[in-house]
Amino acid sequence: MTTLLIEHLKASDLPAEWARRLQVRPEQTVTVRIDTEAGEPVQPEQLFTTDDPAFGIWRDNDETLDVAAFVRRLRAPRYRRDGSRQPD
C-alpha cells in the first residue's frame, strides 16, 4: 500500500467539494492522508502516460545504457575529478 500525507495544507487549497464536506474555513490548515486501496497490480505498460513521440527518445540509445558513464562524459569538460569546475 502507498500513502501520501500532506500536512499543514490550507483549506483554500483543497478541492471545493472536500472543503465543503469538511466544513472548514479557507484559512484553516488540514492534514490530508491518501491511501491506495488494494487492487490489481499495475502493469508496466499501464504506467506509460503519453503518446508523445519525443517522450522516451533516448530509451534505445546505446550511449546511455550506462547512465553514470554517460553523465561523466558529459561533465568531463566542465569539472575536474575532485568535482571542482574547470576554468572557462
pLDDT digit string, tens, across residues 32-73: 999 888 777 766 665 666 777 777 777 788 888 888 998 888
Residue type, 63: E
DSSP β-bridge partners for residue 1: none
The CA distance from 29 to 76, in Å, is 48
What's the pLDDT at 47? 62
What's the pLDDT at 36? 85
What's the pLDDT at 42? 63
Would you say 10 and 28 are in contact if contact means Cβ atoms under 8 Å apart?
Answer: yes
Q: What is the pTM of this model?
A: 0.39
Scan for cell 483543497, then name that residue: 14
The CA distance from 53 to 67, in Å, is 22
